[in-house]
Each structure stands twice: as structure tokens, then as C-alpha cells.
Amino acid sequence: MNLETLMQKHQKSLSELDWAILGYILENEQQVMQLSIVELGEKVHSSKSSILRLTKKLGFSGYSEFKYFMRQSKQNNIGTTDTDLIDLQTKDIENTVKLAQQTDFTSLSKAIQQANTVYCYATGYSQRKVVEEFSKMLMICDKRSIIIPVKTELDISMSMITKEDIVLFVSLSGETDDVKENILSLNARNIPIAAITAFSHNFFAEHAQYAYFYYSTPFTVSGKEHIAQSLVGLSVLVDLIYRKYVTFLNKQFEEET
């Protein structure tokens, strides 16, 4: 499914302003994929809230998910049949593992070990559930971990985070606009950041000292207005990061004894 198909599917709920915004997006797809919601609003002479409402009319949770859909649809990876969906799940897992096998986890493991506190922030509810499990697993290793549940608390926590800590950001798109200011502030203070996002060139990964990627291919459900998306790749990657960390600790223990 592509954007034109979504527009046709939801045409009855779209206003004249929605059609004007979508017209601009269709004519400038590559450029739009690099724009924040505020920048797009300036281009189409509309408000941030108008664009957000439009993305929700199309079945997305927000603008970041909408942009991720656009990138994925360009690659023609969206499944439509039951057989395709099972294949997509397998490919998401295999591609996530394959990429992880080519990735060095030692530096992140060392950073986690040396950190006084591992602060964890996820940009969505589903991502947060995965992060909560990761935090519990770190406690087994006697590593202090704090889950920051919402943006307001992230803002409050900023003054408490130091260079001796590490902040783990987990996201789908890696482009959540209201978190970018926090990441830039942490960068300015030289505080270590690890970003875990779906595979793409994105802001979070670009501004993190440690960037790791998973695969998550969106798909449609017949008769439903929303785009479905599994985070099984995220669960696999986070579990791999934890296992790599435990392996790192075990190796150190063996060398010291």
C-alpha cells in the first residue's frame, strides 16, 4: 500500500486542507521525509495540529509513524496476504539478527557497565514495554536502571543525568520531534546516548554514540483503518543487547579469576 491508496481509502474523512497538504507531500516526497512536522507546516502554510490530525485520519499514531510508512512504502515492502505477513515476520527477525551479527556490541556493553545509571526512554507504549523488560534484566546484573515513562519526566530528569550515566532512547522512526531537543542538550553536555530504532537514516541514530537498528515492516489489515506494525524485531534486538552485555560480564569475570 502507498500514500495514494491510503488517500483513496480515507477520502470521505479528508478536508480540503488535508487534500492540499497531501498534494504537496506527493509532489515533494523525498523532501518531506527529511522535514519535521513544524517545517512541513511552514511549507504548506498550516499548523502542526492540522498535520497531526491528518496523519491520524490516515491511520497513523502520529507524524513520525507516517514518515516511516512513506520510507517503507518506497521500498515496496508492505504485505497484503496471510502468507506475505508470515514471510514479513520471518524477514524482520532474520534481517535484525543478520545486521546485529555485523555490529559491535562491545563498546555499548562497556558503556553500560561503567555507567552509574542507565536511563531508558521509549517514544511509544509498545516500545516502552520492551524497555521495561530490558530494565528488569539489567537489575539481575546489579545494574541500576531507571525508566522515564513520559516526555514531561524526561525534561525533569535532564538536570539529574550526568556524564557518568548513559541514556537509552528506543523509537520506531527515530524522528520524534519533541525529543530532539533533549538529545541535542545531552550531546552538548557530552552525556553518552544509545539509540535503538528501526533501520533507517534518522535523527536519533545520527546523534547517538551507540546506534543499533531493528527491522519492522508495516502492513495493512483488511477492513481496518489503521496500519499495523509488529515490534518483534525490537524485542529480538534488545534481547541480543542484553545477552551481549551478559557475555561481556562473564568474559570479564573469567579473566579476573
Give the DSSP per-residue string, 198-240.
ESS--HHHHT-SEEEEE----EE-TT-SSEE---HHHHHHHHH
| Band (236; pLDDT cuts 50, 70, 90) | very high
Same domain assignment for residues 108 and 52 = no
pLDDT of res. 257: 76
Same domain assignment for residues 175 and 250 = yes
Same domain assignment for residues 138 and 102 = yes
Please state, in angstroms and rounded to a whole number, the distance separating the CA atoms of residues 100 and 106: 12
Helix (H) or strand (E) segment spanning residue 188? helix 177-188
Same domain assignment for residues 92 and 161 = yes
Classify burial at 111, counting beta carbons within 10 Å of its beta carbon; exposed 0-12, middle 13-18, buried 19 or more: middle
Domain count of the chain? 2
pLDDT in tens, 183-218: 999 999 999 999 999 887 788 999 999 999 999 888
With 0.85 as the threshold, say if the pTM is over it. no
Strands, sheet with 118-122, edge to edge from the N-terminal-most edge strand: 145-148, 118-122, 166-170, 193-198, 210-214
**CA angle at 248 for the pair 94 and 170, rounded to the nearest 5°:** 50
Same domain assignment for residues 67 and 135 = no
Please state, in angstroms and rounded to a whole number, the distance separating the CA atoms of residues 165 and 157: 12
Residue 80, pLDDT > 90, answer no
Same domain assignment for residues 97 and 35 = no
CATH number at residue 130: 3.40.50.10490
**What grid cell was written down for 64?**
513520525
CATH number at residue 34: 1.10.10.10
Same domain assignment for residues 100 and 208 = yes
- For residue 71, give the nearest of 40, 39, 30 by alpha carbon: 30
Same domain assignment for residues 97 and 157 = yes
Give the structural domain span for 142.
85-256
